[in-house]
């Protein structure tokens, strides 16, 4: 009898599980994606004196926001 098929989530969870105790699981996170909302999370780690184990695995996507100061000047009409 073959084991039941697993979802992608279950496969990823199993591959990243370090230890499981009392219904809680410690996972190894192999990527730290930085976006506008995560800056504070990384600041909190620094405040607690905690470091990323692999800072080389911290890709940062290109910001998608344009600064308003240059954006407004670019859209202003010279005749207005």
Tell me what percent of the residues of the chain surpass a pLDDT of 90.
30
Model confidence band, residue 48 (pLDDT cutoffs 50, 70, 90): very high
78 in a structural domain: no
Assess if residue 26 is contained within a domain: yes
Judge whether 19 lies within some domain.
Answer: yes
Long-range contacts of residues 59-66, Cβ cutoff 8 Å, at least 24 apart:
59/31, 59/33, 59/34, 60/33, 60/34, 61/33, 61/34, 61/35, 63/36, 65/36
- Grade residue 63 by pLDDT with cuts at 50, 70 and 90: low
Query: Does residue 43 sit within a domain?
Result: yes
The total number of structural domains that make up the chain: 1
Q: Examine residue 18 and state whether it is found in any structural domain, yes or no.
A: yes
Provide the residue range defining the domain that includes 49.
8-56
13-25 confidence digits (pLDDT tens): 999 999 999 999 9
Residue 29 inside a domain? The answer is yes
Residue 38 lies in a domain: yes
């Amino acid at each position: 009898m073959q084991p039941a098929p697993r979802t992608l989530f279950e496969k990823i969870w199993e591959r990243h599980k370090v230890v499981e105790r009392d219904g809680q699981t410690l996972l190894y996170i192999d990527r730290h994606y930085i976006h506008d909302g995560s800056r504070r999370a990384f600041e909190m780690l620094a405040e607690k004196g905690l470091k990323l184990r692999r800072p080389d695995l911290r890709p940062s996507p290109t910001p998608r926001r344009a600064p308003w100061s240059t954006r407004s000047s670019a859209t202003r009409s010279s005749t207005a």
